[in-house]
Every structure is written in structure tokens, then in C-alpha cells.
Amino acid sequence: MPQNHQDSLLFPALQSISKLLQEDDVQGMIIGGLAASLLGRPRYTNDIDLLILDLDNRLPEFIKKLKKFGIRPRIQHPQNFAKESRMLLMRHQESGINIDISMGILPFERDAVARRQTKSSLGLEIILPSPEDLIIIKSISKRPMDLEDIKAIILRHPNLDKKSILTAVSEFADVLEKKDLHERIRDLFDQET
């Protein structure tokens, strides 16, 4: 059960998200701080981040579906914003927890969703990326918290497929013109060995 005030706020939203991700027409998973807490080390987070595939041609229907789970847009014109940013900004009504939905379309995102895993926690079935895929997702950001999350995942999962992680991070580094991404992740692996 929830252990503190923040957990008690997240729990109703997590229940709704868990049910949503069990739907046949929803291909996705939890990413971000909550996933990092479950795959690495528990930490504070005040929102829930999702990656969901194939929303481009069904945004109105998907937003309507979210309402059945107590999730509503937190901005006006959410479809317009989503089309421009590939992010759907929502809020769980009961808890007030923000839910940020990344609209996945990249081959890596499709592969990551295909490799997703289910973890039982707090009496819920929670759909998460593999530890390797979460490291890749978090490596793109330069935020200190993401690096701490990556370190925690590396410590908790000593048998990671480091080669596949470094290959994917290197590909993103080239596309994003962030040459330091690969070195940063390689350095984190070196620190933990």
C-alpha cells in the first residue's frame, strides 16, 4: 500500500494508468521517474510519464477513452498541442496528478514497447520498459536526475546488455548531434564495474 503522502496521491492515478495500459488497443508503458523508481531506486516524482504508440490518427478517440479512466486534458486544445509537440498533457482528476503522454512513432519506441515488461507492485500490474530501454530513454536528457536514475538502474541490474544500450545511445547521439551522450553512458558503466 502507499507508504507516504506522495504515494497516496500517485496511487489512484497509477491504478487508472494500470487499467488503461491493459486495454487491447493501447500499446504503451510507463516511463520517467515512476519507472526509474521501480526499476532502479525509489525517488520522488510528482507526475506519471507514458509512452503510447499510434495515437496520431486517433487522438480524439483516445482522449475520449482517457475520460473513462478519470483522465482529462490539462490544457485547452490538447490535440493541437499534441500534433506540434508529440506530447499529450493530461491530468488524473481524482488525484490531480499530471500525466504526460509521449506519442511514440520511432522504430526504437516500437521496439521498446514490444520488449516491455509487467511488474507487480502495490497490488497492480504495472507495464514498464526493460531496464536497458529505460536507460536509453533517460540518456537523451542531460538532467542530473536522469543520470542518477541511470546509475541506480545500472546498480540494480548488473547483467544489463551494455552493448545494445551503447549502440542505441550512439545512434541517438548522432541523430541529435549530442556526441557526449555515448561517452556519458559508457563512463557510467565504467564507474560501476
Question: What's the whole-model pTM score?
Answer: 0.92
Q: What is the DSSP string of the chain?
A: ---SHHHHHHHHHHHHHHHHHTSTT--EEEEHHHHHHHHS-----SEEEEEEES-TT-HHHHHHHHHTTTEEESSSSHHHHHHHHSEEEEEETTT--EEEEEEE-SHHHHHHHHT-EEEEETTEEEEE--HHHHHHHHHT---HHHHHHHHHHHHH-TT--HHHHHHHHHHHHHHHT-THHHHHHHHHHHHT-
Query: Given this model, what pLDDT does residue 5 score?
Result: 41
Say if residue 139 is in the same domain as residue 78. no
54/81 same-domain check: yes
Instruction: Name the domain boundary from 104, 129, 154.
Output: 129
When divided into structural domains, the chain yields a total of 2
**pLDDT value at position 193?**
62
Domain hosting 69: range is 1-129
**One domain, residues 65 and 104:** yes
Asked if 15 and 104 sit in the same domain, the reply is: yes
For residues 164 and 84, state if they share a domain: no
CATH label of the domain that carries residue 78: 3.30.460.10
Closest of 131, 184, 133, 181 to residue 154, by C-alpha: 131
The whole-number pLDDT of residue 156 equals 97
165 & 154 share domain: yes
Residue 35 shares a structural domain with residue 93: yes
Of 100, 129, 158, the one marking the end of a domain is 129
Q: For residue 4, what pLDDT is reported?
A: 46
Give the per-residue pLDDT at 2: 40
Judgement on whether residues 103 and 172 belong to the same structural domain of the protein? no
pLDDT at 7: 56
| Domain-ending residue, one of 114, 129, 144 | 129
Identify the pLDDT of residue 177. Answer: 85
The pLDDT profile of the chain, 193 residues, written as one tens digit per residue, is: 344 444 577 999 999 999 999 999 999 999 999 999 999 999 999 999 999 999 999 999 999 999 999 999 999 999 999 999 999 999 999 999 999 999 999 999 999 999 999 999 889 999 999 999 999 999 988 789 999 999 999 999 999 999 999 999 999 988 888 888 888 999 999 887 6
**C-alpha–C-alpha distance, residues 35 and 126, integer Å:** 9
pLDDT for 100: 98
